[in-house]
Chain A
């Protein structure tokens, strides 16, 4: 784990390319609402991108009883192991930052896993507001 996804709100223009990239890669292009990165506009020239912080002592990991949320040693990201998940949905409410997305159709949560070390959002951000370094 030698790289981090750095969010630089001061450079963000709110264009939404990161959301689109995330939805295309992670949501299989289904809906931009399934993006795991969000942009909030606080004033006309201020936008804040938010995604999973990959907490060191993560609330989602603490409440999971089946070991379905595991940190990937290479990327440092916490990823969902669908096979081990029983769909109790507690991780969604437990996340203090609102970055667990429970897919009610599949009965499994979805979260940012840093695309296994090549985050699409950072790759596609045209303004350098998301950097993986």
Chain B
């Protein structure tokens, strides 16, 4: 099956979306909330493109990450109306996180240096892209989700309280494109979403590792038993060294 993206013929698979097909063909469509390993959300609207199918009277604007390819689909990624919509979208996102580098980089894409909208108070740099909630879901925890509607919409644990389901893995904080989720690590604790986690320590050298809750969760939900999570990287390597060293001496002395 073939589609045309900006006039270029591109071969696609039937499960492709416009975005995945374009990425494979090396055509850049800017995006923010798209992640190949997570469920598609269509939350940021940055990957907006125009599409045209046979029999239609005019082109339609759709999000490239969600739109499934059809035979002979025509896609326009840089038409005037696409650039205008994309610019407005990025402008609105920037009003929520004006100083953010990831958004500044995106805004360069549409040649528009600063947002014309007043900054949104209390947005705290969150652009509601839902990468954090989807990452949490992927981990199997579902500790955070969207609450509120309209201008009170935000990401938080249920009832805004300490999330029971959170294990302190930190995936949400690391995947956040604007870095707005506070993850505080001290030698003894990990703090995220207002919940303080006690850390596991290496049984040999005492170096701080993951949270105890994360270890317990991993033991219960992944294939590996508890003894995989007892030592830090350095101590594991030293243990292997001891075995290898013995081996090399045997080679030396025959």
Contact = CB atoms under 8 A, between A and B. Distances in A.
A126 interface: no
A87 B170 contact: yes
User: How many interface residues does chain A have, given as a range?
Assistant: 35 or more
B233 A95 contact: yes
A62 B37 contact: no
Given A46-B249, A48-B245, A93-B210, A87 B238 contact: no
Contacts of A100: 233
Interface stretch (B45-53, B65-73, B157-165, B220-228): B220-228
A107 B175 contact: yes
B140 A65 contact: yes
A63 interface: yes
Contact of A46 (B135, B240, B245): B245
Given A96-B228, A97-B236, A10 B169 contact: no
B35 A98 contact: no
B228 A50 contact: no
A40 B237 contact: yes
A98 B37 contact: no
Given A59-B224, A93-B228, 9 more contacts: A9-B244, A63-B222, A68-B37, A86-B138, A86-B171, A88-B135, A89-B170, A94-B229, A98-B235
Interface of B: 35-38, 135, 138-140, 169-171, 174-175, 209-210, 214-215, 218, 222-224, 228-229, 231-238, 240-242, 244-245, 247-249, 251-252
Q: Which 10 A-B pairs have the closest CB atoms?
A: A107-B174, A87-B174, A98-B236, A66-B37, A9-B248, A98-B233, A98-B237, A40-B241, A84-B37, A88-B171
